[in-house]
Structure 1
Amino acid sequence: MKKRTHFSKMKILLLLIFAPAILLAQETITGKVVIEATGAGAPFVNIVENGTDNGTASDIDGNFSITVGTLPTRLKVFALGFGTKVVDVETAGEITIQISESTESLEEVIVTGLATSVKRSNAANAVSSVSAEDLAGLTPPQTLDGALAGKFAGALITKSSGAPGGGIAVKLRGVTSINGNSQPLYIVDGVYVNNNSISATGLNSVSGAASGGNPSSQDNPSNRIADINPDDIESVEILKGASAAAIYGARAAAGVIIITTKKGKQGKTKISFSQDFGFNTIIRLRGQRNFTEASAEGTGAGNGALFTAARDSGTLVDYEEEIYGEEGFISNTSINVSGGSENTQYYAGFSNNEEDGIVKNTGYNRKSIRLNLNHSFLEDRAKLSLSSNYIDSQSDRGYFNNDNTTTTIGQSATFTKPWTQLFPNELGIYPDNPDAASNPLQTRDLITNREDINRFIVGATLDVKLYEAEKSNLKLALGGGVDYYELITTTIFPKLLQFQKPGNGGVNGVSALGTTENKDANYSAFLVHNYTTSNSLNFRTQAGVTKQTFYRNTVGNIATDLIGFETNLDQGANISVNQFRQEQEDQGFFVQEELNYQDKIIGTLGVRGDKSSNNGDANEIFYYPKASAAVNLHKFDFWKIPVINQFKIRAAYGEAGNFAPNGALFTTYTNTLIDGIAGIVVPVSPLALGNPDISPERQKELEVGFDASFLDSRINLEFSYYNKKVDDLILRSNIEPSSGFTLEFSNAGNLENRGVEVSVNADVLEGDKFNWNTNLIFFTNESEITKLDVDAFNLGGFGAGLGTFRIEEGKSATQIVGNDANGNLVVLGDAAPDFQMTWSNNLSYKDFTLSFLWHWKQGGDNINLTNLLSDFGGTSPDFDDIDLDPAGVTANGPFRIGAFGSGNATPFVEDASYLRLREIGLYYNLSSKIREKVFGKYVSNLKIGFSGNNLINVFDYNSYDPEVSNFGSNGLSTGVEVTPFPTSKRYLFHLAVDF
């Protein structure tokens, strides 16, 4: 003990003696990083003491300062777009480090397999990419899918509801399925992310929307990709066609969107903080009818006198302005921390997004926490990557869209006259609305329609170098992930509501509680082998297996005849329960061979095999092949066109699948109670008979195109043509009524999509002070039902008298038909646009940047029924105009009502073209001189700015916005309007600081 104590004292003494010397030994190295070709300072370059986590970054002018423990030392210098450089430093003081731009490091890579990627210059597919700056750097979006609109070719993105919290349909390269899934598969850091729209609110028990002959959900819930925080995303890749998406097999017919979130980088800890404040307003009000005493009298007995009295007393109310005229407050707060050592890098982020709606008591709040880790070990032979995300969100969505009870806020407002007084008295008691079944102000103020989400998304990948030699190597890639969420929907319609009173046909209050537990998991294991011959021919082989499991349990509880002011389910006299459960397990394998001859000729062959418990035979394997080739002509010696520095021709073919929709494989029965004995029976509704022999829908796509770059890549051109065929469409066919059913699911059709995609990007001006980059995208898509083994049928609308979609051989899959004035069924329009075009620009002058994005959608028709409903109420803004009647005699309101009475759908199908300024942003980066004077060296960047969404909207469509869908974000029938929640424009002010 004495020896040990003596030794400890000696250590303390030595430490006291040498500590000042150790501290004095620290040396400070200052200097500047410059670009070798120009001599200009290189901003935001990482300078790290090699082998440690001690590091810094150069400022906007390239200057840096780093303190090291001892000299000599080695500094590792690296940044995106530049080659890595290691510098030996012998003495302290000023040094200059030259770095050179690296074409290879600048080269964008895209996914070609489940465990590999390829340089874009060698890719044989048209894969679109959206960077973090393009996604959320210009105007912070409300949701991820909404942020993609106008950013790449080949997509029709439609907002199905203007309610905060999402509700967006994304269709890549046209219609993929009639009855099955039409939304792309989303992959986030290797995790299969669920994007369901689950309606468990009980709204239909009040609205009766699905009881009017169309069973489709019209509750317009949000879709779950809205949970992903766009600010966490580093990049997005869109695999639009089967030729690229075949690697995901049976789930990829509608395309794949691959999302990579932000990761930490080696160097000192970086802290970033951003705050946005702003507000939103409605894009456009429809307006009011210009009433006169005579026209008011025409809406009902005595209304002329009521109108005159209200007009004279100044009490006329614009109920559209009253309901939709709010300026919703927006606040987005984000903070993230990143950094790391040579072996371990980390990224942690927190965000809080709050947005009130343009209708009182609506809004969206999302809190997100993310932690990503990368760790290299076993002397850099192994790398482990972890990504984790927790989301807590709440969305209050109001009560809108179609109903058969005239009780939604939108429908009741269309019947309400401006002289009708609906405001509560001093006791808070609302009067009944004499014009409609509900008082829209009372409904707005008292009902609850809320979605609550608690969600965990966790993924991990492990890459291990099993073998390395001079010309070959072998890697093992393991991956897995879980997406788990609990969705709680709460719907409360108090008994005080006008339409809930028993005397008005109500049920004395409704309280509904829905719970959904969803858990999706995916696992994969791959081997990747690279071999290069002596003449630079590279073979890359990958093979592996995958497994996915999916589980969902939705329970809906509805209580009516509530006791007092209670909202608990057990306080209702009548309670009904429904439950939906689904489990699925998929297994598959994937094999792919890639050949690359000196980056001149690149070829790929692969096949995916999948089996699923969702198939009639759970052990049957369905195969999805792919093949592609690209030739970089500019790499060959014969290329003698200096102005064209890159020219690549490419062709690709691939197949992908789409599972049968729920209910297609097996018949669903319902419960019954006869003489006190429980049992099951065939439902009364015309539910189709299941078919256990049904096979998945199969998409086959051929894509050809070329990529070219001009004037040292200052101008880049991409052109693609595709032909996408979908065979074995799952449809409902008529069967003998003696079977007990009227319909049966069967593989009974084929469809085809053809389209062209063109993208041009140009650096118009490049200078020391002023830069201008522009990007133009143009694309088209045409569809055709090429085979139909069943009779032509209508779907997705409200019948031929109002306009509906029709599936018919030889015709467009999105055609809209209806009866004309002579009672003939004719084509009235098509939901698909003739073309879409976007034009984006980024301009910078000194420390200012201006960016904007215009989006032009030409053609594409909607079925607009909002005007008809306001015609019934006599309140349409154009009720008294005369521009619909070909004879020029009948006013618009009576003309539409007369058309409805005669079954003429012609007035209800309208052109939905628009020109829209989707995004605009103006920012100022505080110069380094001012920043250092004010904040010292603690702040490395400070940016302030203004941005907006949808600030300019040009369209002739006779309602709030052409982007609308009564039937939600899934299915074929987008573009049907029935008194929706209108969309809004957003104004935001920004502050971003990096420490």
Structure 2
Amino acid sequence: MQMKKRVQLFCWLLLLLPALAIAQQKNISGKVTDQNGNPVAGANISVKGTQTGTLSDAEGHFSLKASVGSTIEISFTGYRTQSFKITNETTSFNVALKEDYARLDEVVVTGLATTVKRSNAANAVAVIGARELAGTAPAQTFDAALNGKVVGANIVSNSGAPGGGTSIKLRGVTTIFGNSQPLFVVDGVIVNNSATSAGLNAVTAAAAAGNSSNQDNASNRIADLNPEDIQSVEVLKGASAASIYGAQAAAGVVIITTKRGKAGKTRFNFSQDVGFNSIIRYLGQRPLTDAIVQSQGWDVAAYDSAKAAGKLYDYEKVMYGQKGLIRDSRLSISGGNDKTTFYLAGGLRKEDGIIKRTGYANNSLRVNIDHRINDKIKLSYSSTFINSSADRGLTNNDNAGVTFGVALSSTPSFAQLFPDANGNYPNNPYAASNPLQTRDLMTNNELTNRYIGGVNLDAIIQQSNKMTTRIIARGGLDYYNLKTTAVFPSILQFEVNTTKGHSIQGMTNNVNTNWAGFLVNSYKPADDLSFITTAGLTHEYGKYDNILNVATQLIGIQTNLDQAGAINVSQFRTQYKNDGVFVQEEFAFKNYLNITAGLRFDQSTNNGDYKKYFTYPKANVAWNLSKMNFWKSKTINDLKLRVAYGESSNFPAYISRFTPLNSSNIGGYPGSLVSNTLGDGSIGSERQTELEAGVDISVLEGKLSLEATFYNKVVKDLLMQGQVPASTGFATKYLNAGSLRNRGIELSLKAIPFEGKNFRWTSTTNFWLNRSLITQLNIPAFPLGAFGTTLGTYFIQQGASATQIVGLNGNGGIGKLGDAEPTFQMNFLNDFTIHKNWSLRFLIHWKQGGDVINLTQLLTDLGGTSPDFDVMQSNGKTAGENRIAALGVSSKPFVQNASFVKFREIGLYYTVPYRIKNIERIQLGVSANNLFVITPYVGYDPEVSNFGVGFSSGVDVTPFPTSKRVQFHVAISF
């Protein structure tokens, strides 16, 4: 009996021997170097089709276990991926990576759960690495770090106020009344990017006349992210790439991947930046004489007295002339083993503004952990906590004469505004406020606490020689609490005899959650044929709750809301739920033909019919001619043709579905009044379709490459606000009533003009342009986004550009005076490496064309303080007199060319060429942002937006001036 069992056991062992041989694990070691023999640290070495992998250490060495017959892939950013087959004889191997000059092996997104090499991609995806984002001249905020770097984007800094605030439009205007900002995704977590008003209109009365849009100069919340934590940013600019994200992706998608740990010894990286910021340029002040003072109706005796006492002040420099101190400390710890890697990072940033008592502080903590449960299951956790505080001053539009710029626009240099020895400020006889008093005693603060966290599970549930099936599950939470505090003491000049002080306090809680599950099947029936099938479910939930309290008649120096004679409370709440289903098929043949087709179904409570599923298809083809058998050219290394089509949509505005009720006192009793805007319960989404075509070519071993793209984007069912018959009891209603088209060209040229033993020069030149057109408008043409045709305004009109600016043309009529859309944009990025230890890198951004409605100059004209007011012109009148005379006759003086050339970034770094004990690397550097600007525009900065992140960028009303930054850097790795 025992003999029989032994024979059975022997037979089973014989049957299992092949499987045991296949599963035999071997220790494989080696070294990764570049083509010059220098070690490559951090290269990714993985066993294809499994979760097994490791990273090379500081000397380029690696070690891992792999089965005989498996394939090991070695990849590193900027280098071509190489593969090796493991045989019975393989115990170690060395690999020299070749530089991927054209970034053909760079991996870009093709879906929610899949990626593809750039050489096989059918979409133009802008990728910004850590070095491009923050490694040259670190910006204050993440949105500022993107400026000038994204091909196909029009990025405008709303103002220079600390804490950020940027309008981002990808491939033109995609909506007029809807959300115009792209969708932001951080490590798979969809995050909120709203801008919340601090309620300053209660003091400035900015909405009392003209446009009622938010003019509070609020920052949008994507500015919370720490740029130093980010490994890469991928920008999906159009529907053909972003349609897989469905109804939230009409304005594009920005996918942010943060830094993660690497296996090996624990590494510490510490860096310290110290610097200062200062205004880019001053407008200047009007030189005064007795005759000028008298002609303005000012006090000549006061002018003479101040002049004799040497008390003529340049209040522009007094207000905006502070050199703000910049301090930024960062520490990261990373490491782990083959099973678990971690990345911990903390940052402390504090910057003073160029206006006293303004500034920005950001404290962040990041924890990223990756754990391989076994060869088939990987679990990842990503999280960040952010505490930020921004003191933003009081700038932008104002109908009460209280913001810094508006008050200064009518204040001459001889006015005495400084406090006396007891700290008492005199009243300003030339304006409604003393701007120095307002600056020194007021508060306007945004305080944010934010948590972004996500979990990702990637598991192989089936694997064979030809097929692998993975299940991917992820979930995330984005929560922030925003407290806005604006206090204007009763002692202020404009408060004493009116409202006797303001305490404006807002509290916002925002919660966004999302989860998704994907099934990905990779099938390779033959070596030259492969299929990747993806199916998935997504769910997003969001809740926004803002309460704003405006208290007046403050008691003494109290700021508590209950220490006031009157209080007004308003609350705005929104809530949504989205559900999506999608399928996608990717087909690859002989590594030269790649076809992708996908379909997404979306349901959202934001739609009029919230139960209806909307369908968003996508399809694309990439054909790489240079990988076909007939290709023999040694000059052209890569030639790819591509075409892509996709659809997405933009949710209707939250308020468009409902008829709002306004609170009111009716006969002494609280009640509600129906507003004059009628809601539409059947309102539909804006529908977007896009066709994109392009060609990619590289020559000279990739040392010269060109990516060229043309796109045609059509947006139908544009959300509009139209008039309704008075008999309905309403004045306006939201409706789908138009179509919009954007066409554009994007070119990206990468080159290595020179490469030698001790000197290397790499260069990137990007060019892009966009043209928009209102192709259909089912309601009468209407002005939007400024202050009427007298001063110049945007005008939505069929057959015209969506961003045209019209106004009085001097002939008794109204005509087109300009367009906010640039004629074209270009950037030039150059990187010089000298003796391997010195690095010089700079970015120049050129925007040609694009007009701005400059009302800051109008205010200084009316106040008699414009620096060129007295310049004589050909008609015998001064420049200031001519501009004032044009008011009400022609808007041309106020619509100005905003072309510019900006030296956005420059950095010079030196890496110490030898190690000091346990210190692996020491780097020293100096950098500058916005070092100078060349522009014909008469204003602080041609990049300006009084109305923030919405449709109406390019309106200049006494903004917070933009600053330039100079910083010194020390970085130590050990």
User: Do Structure 1 and Structure 2 share a fold, with TM-score over 0.5?
Assistant: yes
Residues 603, 612 of structure 2: 8 Å contact kept:
yes
Distance in 2 between the 1:56 and 1:764 partners?
30
- Return closer, same or farther for 1:49/1:869 CA change in 2, 3 Å cut-off: closer
- Return closer, same or farther for 1:84/1:602 CA change in 2, 3 Å cut-off: closer
Which residue of 1 is the match for residue 647 of structure 2?
655
Distance in 2 between the 1:241 and 1:78 partners?
29
Corresponding letter in the other structure for 1:990: H
Which residue of 2 is the match for residue 17 of structure 1?
none
| 1:453-501 deviation line (CA, Å, top 9, x unaligned) | 0000001110111100111111111011000000000010000100001
| 1:551-572 deviation line (CA, Å, top 9, x unaligned) | 0110011110011111110000
Distance in 2 between the 1:166 and 1:44 partners?
35
Residue 33 of structure 1: CA displacement? 5.1
Which residue of 1 is the match for residue 22 of structure 2?
none
Which residue of 2 is the match for residue 927 of structure 1?
913
Aligned: 1:239 with 2:206: no
- Return closer, same or farther for 1:873/1:461 CA change in 2, 3 Å cut-off: same
Distance in 2 between the 1:718 and 1:488 partners?
45
User: Among residues 428, 432, 435, which one is paired with 2:427 in the alignment?
Assistant: 432
Residues 53, 267 of structure 1: 8 Å contact kept:
no
- Return closer, same or farther for 1:165/1:180 CA change in 2, 3 Å cut-off: same
- Return closer, same or farther for 1:49/1:526 CA change in 2, 3 Å cut-off: closer
Residues 77, 86 of structure 1: 8 Å contact kept:
no
Distance in 1 between the 2:667 and 2:632 partners?
89
Residue 250 of structure 1: CA displacement? 0.3
Corresponding letter in the other structure for 1:708: I
Which residue of 2 is the match for residue 958 of structure 1?
938
Aligned: 1:878 with 2:868: yes
Q: What are the equivalent positions in structure 2 for 1:667-682 lying under 5 Å apart?
A: 667-682=659-674
User: Among residues 597, 601, 608, which one is paired with 1:605 in the alignment?
Assistant: 597
Q: Report the 3-state secondary structure (helix = DSSP H, G, I; strand = E; otherwise coil) of the residue aligned with 1:320.
A: helix
Residue 819 of structure 1: CA displacement? 0.6
Which residue of 2 is the match for residue 8 of structure 1?
none
Which residue of 1 is the match for residue 954 of structure 2?
975
Q: What are the equivalent positions in structure 2 for 1:49-198 lying under 5 Å apart?
A: 57-58=57-58, 81=79, 98-101=94-97, 107-198=105-196
Q: Percent identity?
A: 48
Q: Report the 3-state secondary structure (helix = DSSP H, G, I; strand = E; otherwise coil) of the residue aligned with 1:570.
A: coil
User: Among residues 307, 326, 331, which one is paired with 1:311 in the alignment?
Assistant: 307
- Return closer, same or farther for 1:163/1:109 CA change in 2, 3 Å cut-off: same
- Return closer, same or farther for 1:77/1:215 CA change in 2, 3 Å cut-off: closer
Which residue of 2 is the match for residue 583 of structure 1?
575
| 1:669-713 deviation line (CA, Å, top 9, x unaligned) | 112221233322123xxx531111111001110000000000111
Which residue of 1 is the match for residue 883 of structure 2?
896
User: Among residues 467, 470, 493, which one is paired with 1:475 in the alignment?
Assistant: 470
User: Among residues 455, 458, 466, which one is paired with 1:463 in the alignment?
Assistant: 458
Aligned: 1:344 with 2:331: no
Residue 851 of structure 1: CA displacement? 0.4
Aligned: 1:776 with 2:755: no
Residues 474, 515 of structure 2: 8 Å contact kept:
yes
Residues 47, 267 of structure 1: 8 Å contact kept:
no
Distance in 2 between the 1:251 and 1:77 partners?
36
User: Among residues 629, 636, 659, which one is paired with 2:628 in the alignment?
Assistant: 636
- Return closer, same or farther for 1:258/1:65 CA change in 2, 3 Å cut-off: closer
Distance in 1 between the 2:213 and 2:889 partners?
22
Distance in 2 between the 1:909 and 1:888 partners?
21
- Return closer, same or farther for 1:599/1:399 CA change in 2, 3 Å cut-off: same
Aligned: 1:396 with 2:391: yes
- Return closer, same or farther for 1:430/1:49 CA change in 2, 3 Å cut-off: same
What value does the CA root-mean-square deviation take over the aligned residues?
Answer: 2.4
- Return closer, same or farther for 1:642/1:219 CA change in 2, 3 Å cut-off: same
Q: Report the 3-state secondary structure (helix = DSSP H, G, I; strand = E; otherwise coil) of the residue aligned with 2:677.
A: coil
Which residue of 1 is the match for residue 520 of structure 2?
528
- Return closer, same or farther for 1:322/1:952 CA change in 2, 3 Å cut-off: same
Corresponding letter in the other structure for 2:967: L
| 1:638-676 deviation line (CA, Å, top 9, x unaligned) | 222210000000000001110001211111111222123
Which residue of 1 is the match for residue 415 of structure 2?
420
Aligned: 1:615 with 2:612: no
Is 688-697 or 853-862 further displaced after alignment?
Answer: 688-697
Which residue of 2 is the match for residue 13 of structure 1?
none
Q: Report the 3-state secondary structure (helix = DSSP H, G, I; strand = E; otherwise coil) of the residue aligned with 2:550.
A: strand
- Return closer, same or farther for 1:110/1:674 CA change in 2, 3 Å cut-off: same
Aligned: 1:363 with 2:362: no
Which residue of 2 is the match for residue 204 of structure 1?
201
| 1:157-209 deviation line (CA, Å, top 9, x unaligned) | 0000110100100000000000000000000000001000011x221001000
Residues 55, 62 of structure 2: 8 Å contact kept:
no
Q: What are the equivalent positions in structure 2 for 1:280-291 lying under 5 Å apart?
A: 280-291=277-288
Corresponding letter in the other structure for 1:350: G
* Count of residues in Structure 1 that have an aligned counterpart in Structure 2: 928
Corresponding letter in the other structure for 1:645: N
Which residue of 2 is the match for residue 20 of structure 1?
none
Residues 217, 968 of structure 1: 8 Å contact kept:
yes
Corresponding letter in the other structure for 1:119: K
Corresponding letter in the other structure for 2:347: S
User: Among residues 885, 892, 915, which one is paired with 1:906 in the alignment?
Assistant: 892
Which residue of 2 is the match for residue 708 of structure 1?
697
Which residue of 2 is the match for residue 861 of structure 1?
851
Which residue of 1 is the match for residue 212 of structure 2?
215
Q: Report the 3-state secondary structure (helix = DSSP H, G, I; strand = E; otherwise coil) of the residue aligned with 2:906.
A: strand
- Return closer, same or farther for 1:148/1:532 CA change in 2, 3 Å cut-off: same
Which residue of 1 is the match for residue 553 of structure 2?
561
Residues 280, 328 of structure 1: 8 Å contact kept:
yes
Q: Report the 3-state secondary structure (helix = DSSP H, G, I; strand = E; otherwise coil) of the residue aligned with 2:419.
A: coil
Distance in 2 between the 1:52 and 1:723 partners?
43
Corresponding letter in the other structure for 1:896: R
Residue 448 of structure 1: CA displacement? 0.3
Residues 748, 790 of structure 1: 8 Å contact kept:
yes
- Return closer, same or farther for 1:216/1:37 CA change in 2, 3 Å cut-off: closer
Distance in 1 between the 2:231 and 2:361 partners?
23
Residues 277, 332 of structure 1: 8 Å contact kept:
yes
Residue 993 of structure 1: CA displacement? 0.6
- Return closer, same or farther for 1:365/1:47 CA change in 2, 3 Å cut-off: closer
Corresponding letter in the other structure for 2:120: N
Residue 84 of structure 1: CA displacement? 8.1
Residue 56 of structure 1: CA displacement? 8.1
Distance in 1 between the 2:625 and 2:53 partners?
44
Structure 1: gaps spanning 5 or more residues = 1-30, 67-74, 89-94
Residue 32 of structure 1: CA displacement? 11
Which residue of 2 is the match for residue 230 of structure 1?
227
Residues 33, 40 of structure 2: 8 Å contact kept:
no
Distance in 1 between the 2:320 and 2:139 partners?
21
Aligned: 1:255 with 2:252: yes
| 1:188-235 deviation line (CA, Å, top 9, x unaligned) | 000001000011x22100100011131101001011000000000000
Residues 909, 925 of structure 2: 8 Å contact kept:
yes
Residue 290 of structure 1: CA displacement? 1.3
Residues 53, 268 of structure 1: 8 Å contact kept:
no
Distance in 1 between the 2:565 and 2:822 partners?
51
Which residue of 1 is the match for residue 3 of structure 2?
none
| 1:774-799 deviation line (CA, Å, top 9, x unaligned) | 00000110000000000000010101
Aligned: 1:573 with 2:565: yes
Corresponding letter in the other structure for 1:434: P
Residues 44, 53 of structure 2: 8 Å contact kept:
no
Residue 152 of structure 1: CA displacement? 2.5
Q: What are the equivalent positions in structure 2 for 1:774-813 lying under 5 Å apart?
A: 774-813=763-802
Corresponding letter in the other structure for 1:109: V
Corresponding letter in the other structure for 1:977: D
Residues 517, 537 of structure 2: 8 Å contact kept:
yes
Q: Give the TM-score taking structure 1 as reference length.
A: 0.90
Which residue of 2 is the match for residue 19 of structure 1?
none
| 1:485-519 deviation line (CA, Å, top 9, x unaligned) | 000000100001000011xxx20000011000000
Residue 944 of structure 1: CA displacement? 0.3
Residues 154, 169 of structure 2: 8 Å contact kept:
yes
Distance in 1 between the 2:43 and 2:771 partners?
49
Residues 31, 56 of structure 2: 8 Å contact kept:
no
- Return closer, same or farther for 1:535/1:340 CA change in 2, 3 Å cut-off: closer
Residue 251 of structure 1: CA displacement? 0.4
User: Among residues 479, 484, 500, which one is paired with 1:508 in the alignment?
Assistant: 500
Residues 697, 706 of structure 2: 8 Å contact kept:
yes
Residues 391, 456 of structure 1: 8 Å contact kept:
yes
Residue 287 of structure 1: CA displacement? 0.1
